[in-house]
Chains A and B, each alone.
Chain A
Amino acid sequence: MPFDLSLIIRKAEKFGAKEAEAFLIRRRKMSSEIKGGEIDLSSTKLEEGVGLRVVLDKGRVGFSYSNDPSKQEELIKKSIKVARANEEDENWPSFPCCKNYRRVKNFYKEVVNMGSDEVVEMSKLMLDSAKLDERVQPFFGSSEVTYDFRELCNTQGIHVEEESTLLSLNLSTIARENGKVSPICFEYDVSRSKDVDPERVGREASEIALKCLEHSKIESGEKDVLFSQEALMMLWLFTISQGIKGDQVQRETSFLAGKIGEKVASEKVSLSDDGTLEGGVFSHSFDDEGVPCQKTEIISDGTLKGFIYDHYSARKEGKESTGNAWRGRDFFGEKLPYTSVPRVATTNLVLEKGRKSLDQLIDEIDEGVLVRSLQGAHSSDPESGSFSVVATPSFLIEKGEVKGLLRGIMLSGNAFSLLEKVRELSRETRTAYFLVAPWILFEDVRVIAKGSS
């Protein structure tokens, strides 16, 4: 007997729920993992489960989940039991109603049809091109294909479903020569379609590691710092992307609370959340509450315009949801979406590009740091935005040229106030997890180098 969402919500009503919402995900994942320079393990995973939210009188919400379709009635009873333990909530707005959906192109049949040989082949291609230089050891990586079927059904009349695909590659390398060891270097590619390039990933993961064998030095001080998309994503994951959440703003735990209409960034900064972005890794027709995805302006030419909301936080302010309710977006491990209630989260966070090329940006730097990635960004303070991180790998920029690796340097400051210190944005953009952005050049960033204070 398969899960039947319409039946589940009808039965929930029969058992005493005023409202109900059932969410199903069926996920098939195939991956080929690299460990210690060879293909170590290939796997397939099949998961299917349902998360059920029920609401009793006065906004008492309960949630329960299960992956056993033979126990659908138990699931309903459990979520009602949980709701009884919950407190009343005067702000409960009822589940969202049906809207018009615009289909986003996020499903590619060719990805579903990929066989295990093809997935393994991508790992091999990455390995082979990384190994072309014998100083390089590719040690961790994977090729992964995910197929998701999402279905959502609520008592307000929403019943929607969507298939999506995702293909992702990543490879980490280390280079060694004459006793010198590079830090871990990482390269990746990700796409909804088959448009990924394993050879490029392998080649670039290797080139960066080799570049790290040359060393440079810099003194502590306030410097020009050029962030890659990956480095910016890591910094923003724990700061900006938290501070733009409507619920954080309502709690006044966001630095941006109460600042709509104010200038919060350099005029060069325009930022939006776009769940409909073509080709976006986080693009969907609807979010995990069934609300259509949309493009939401956050910062326009440096002025704060708005925040992202789920249905609950939006209705609290008399606004409409921006389609930013997502499940299972946990930093720790792999959390299956049906095992969690929806929470406010970004889709594709898009930072508008600039006019100059990356080369021009570098050319105009007299002394600065190019940061590829960060370590310790999760220790940043999401409320205040203050951070203190290790920039690794990072490179010296001197008189318009990228020089050698800077070892053990730290950057510190505040992610929100850095927005005002944006000098330039490149015209080249790239996707790093939830962020689609150009290279970004900040001025006067505090750099702390070892051996000086």
Chain B
Amino acid sequence: MRDLLEKFMSIGTSLGAEYLDLRAQKIEKTEVLLKENKIEISTGILGGIGIRALVGGRWGFSSVTKLDSIESGIKEAISMARASGKKGSIDLEEVPTVEDSVTVGRKVDLDPRAVTPEEKVSVLGEMNNKLIGIQGVKAVTIEYLDVSGRQYFCNSEGSYIEEDKTYVWTKITAIGRKRDVIVTGREEIGTTSGFSEFLDKKDRAIEKLGNRIEMQLESKAPKGGEFPVVVGPELVGVLVHEALGHLAEADLTLSGSIIRPLLGKKIASSLINVYDDGTIEGAFGSFFYDDEGTPSQRTQLIKEGKLVSLMYDREHAMKFKRISEEEGIIDEFNTSPTGNARAESYSVPPIIRMSNTYVSKGDMSMEELLEGIKFGYYLVSFRGGQANLDGTFQVGVQEAYEISNGEISNPVRSVSISGNTLETLNRVEGVGEDFHLISGRCGKGQMAFVGSGGPHLKIGGILVGGA
């Protein structure tokens, strides 16, 4: 494959590309959907090549599905870049050239391709039966997906990387009903360590979900208004991903995110440290190299409340290097590529995406976090979330409790929280001593597997909306 891809590099540069990269992929997928005891199974093989050319400071991209179309694809990508107009402003920050061949997950235990469809169906069937047996659970849906594949990356600077990736992901949704009350709960399991890891984690997920449904059926609606809250690791993860993470993706920062004028400045309580880390063994958002050949790394985004880096691809690292020089941003502010350029598949160009994003742990116990809250909410698990570049966010909560006089009490349902990210980060009053990462999927036009999490946090006030 290497010889084949490398010979196209000179064709691209002779046609006027300042930079060219090719990503050839072969992906195998198995999906199982178990819904209402009915099973759908699908398997597929997809192959293709994504071609990216930088010409005159503008990107052209094309994707083709056959090796013998690569040359026409390169021409297409170059002509698309030219059509975009006269001199553009795109320039790439330098990264070392790499020659490597790696496997993500480092020690994949049981490749899902080696597990028969029959075995997968039987495992999911058992999970379904366990959940259905729990009182109050009326319907169960289990979505299972495994993706295995190899990517061959080659660029005109001399990098050549082969990378194997294996993802196993499951989402379990249960609907509970008691008289007129209908509640929905869900759990996700995701791993880059293979099918065995999924087998290890499934029982715990079923148990958690079953408990949640039972409890939610007995819960009441929350009061609307602003209240102090204690937020669990799962919800801290979604807040740090949705509310802060997206603002710190350099393309979005440049596109009007509220943190654009705050580079190198204090934006959060000094108790807060935030990282994006693609190197955590087995975590769902981990990988060796991003989709432009930059190694993944552990990037500190917030250091004691101060914004010290964004997440970059090569294009935006260069843009922010210039901005940082022009505006005299503090030296501590990082503008080197962070290995966050990711593409869902060969058919789309890489864009800046998170890997595993989290708040690092502090030193407070749960009792200390709850102490002094006369009335508030303990927010455990989320249903979905969204954030706006102006710094507002909204997160739906599927598991929550009242806090009264420093103690966790009645369960509440249909809670959602909203607020302003910076205000919220500044109102963090305590950071727990625990730590937990969860697996999820993130949509930004393209789908990416990510991890997120943190410790428990105490936040002075957050807007709680209820049905």
Q: Could you tell me which A residues sit within 8 Å of B by CB distance? A: 30, 32, 35-36, 38-49, 51, 61-68, 71, 74, 78-79, 81-82, 84-87, 89, 115-117, 119-120, 124, 137, 139-140, 174, 181-184, 220, 251-253, 331-334, 339-341, 375-376, 378-384, 386-390, 392, 407-408, 410, 412-414, 446, 448, 450-453
Contact = CB atoms under 8 A, between A and B. Distances in A.
Contacts of B85: 39, 120, 124
B349 A42 contact: no
A333 B445 contact: yes
Given A120-B84, A408-B419, A413-B467, A386 B414 contact: yes
A268 B384 CA distance: 32
Contact of B443 (A81, A82, A84, A332): A332
B381 to A, nearest CB: 12
16 contacts: A43-B62, A47-B347, A63-B40, A63-B42, A65-B44, A84-B117, A86-B41, A86-B121, A174-B255, A174-B256, A184-B256, A184-B390, A339-B42, A390-B386, A390-B388, A413-B467
B66 to A, nearest CB: 8
In order of increasing CB-CB distance, the 9 nearest A-B pairs are A379-B396, A453-B225, A376-B394, A333-B447, A85-B117, A379-B384, A139-B255, A388-B416, A43-B61
Interface centre among B390, B441, B446 (most CB of A within 10 A): B390
A85 B119 CA distance: 8
Interface stretch (B73-81, B271-279, B330-338): B73-81
B100 to A, nearest CB: 27
B291 to A, nearest CB: 14
B89 interface: yes
Interface string B343-369: 010011100000000000000000000
B16 interface: no
B466 A117 contact: no
Given A39-B84, A42-B81, A450-B226, 4 more contacts: A42-B61, A46-B64, A65-B45, A81-B43
B57 to A, nearest CB: 10
A253 B139 contact: yes
A178 B416 CA distance: 32
A389 B394 contact: yes
Nearest to A63: B42
Given A183-B390, A334-B348, A89 B65 contact: no
B376 to A, nearest CB: 13
B254 interface: yes
Contacts of B116: 85
Interface string B229-260: 00000000000000000000001001110100
A87 B38 CA distance: 8
Interface centre among B225, B226, B446, B465 (most CB of A within 10 A): B465
A76 to B, nearest CB: 12
B194 interface: no
A340 B42 contact: yes
A237 to B, nearest CB: 12
Contact of B63 (A45, A49, A220, A448): A45
A61 B40 contact: yes
B380 interface: no
Given A35-B251, A181-B256, A253-B175, A82 B117 contact: yes
Contact of A381 (B64, B182, B348, B446): B182
B463 interface: yes
Nearest to B80: A42
B388 A392 contact: yes
Contact of B396 (A65, A388, A413): A388
B200 interface: no
A410 B63 contact: no
Contact of A181 (B29, B58, B251, B390): B390
Interface in B376-399: 382-390, 392-396
Given A45-B62, A388-B467, A137 B256 contact: yes
B418 interface: yes
A26 to B, nearest CB: 10
B84 A85 contact: no
Majority SS at the chain A contact face: mixed
A116 B465 contact: no
B36 A251 contact: yes
Given A65-B42, A331-B443, A453 B226 contact: yes
B270 interface: no
A283 B90 CA distance: 40
A383 B216 CA distance: 15
Given A139-B255, A410-B416, A383 B184 contact: yes
B386 A184 contact: no
Contact of A448 (B60, B65, B118, B465): B465
Given A67-B48, A85-B117, A86-B39, A383 B79 contact: no
B225 A40 contact: no
A68 B47 contact: yes
Given A117-B83, A408-B419, A66 B45 contact: yes
Contacts of A38: 88-89
A120 B347 CA distance: 20
A408 B81 contact: no
A450 B463 contact: yes
B287 interface: no
Interface centre among B77, B88, B396 (most CB of A within 10 A): B396
B185 to A, nearest CB: 11
Contact of A44 (B44, B62, B256, B414): B62
B415 to A, nearest CB: 8
B392 A183 contact: yes
Contact of A410 (B344, B347, B394): B394
B409 interface: no
Contacts of B393: 375
B101 interface: no
A43 B80 contact: yes
A42 B59 contact: yes
Nearest to B443: A332
Nearest to B44: A65
B59 A40 contact: yes
Contacts of B258: 181
B420 interface: yes
Contacts of A183: 388-390, 392
Contacts of A79: 43
B46 to A, nearest CB: 5
Given A117-B83, A448-B463, A64 B44 contact: yes
A401 B35 CA distance: 49
Given A41-B349, A412-B224, A35 B394 contact: no
B69 interface: yes
B223 interface: yes
Interface centre among A42, A82, A253 (most CB of B within 10 A): A42
Contacts of B463: 408, 410, 448, 450
A85 B42 CA distance: 11
Contacts of A86: 39, 41, 121
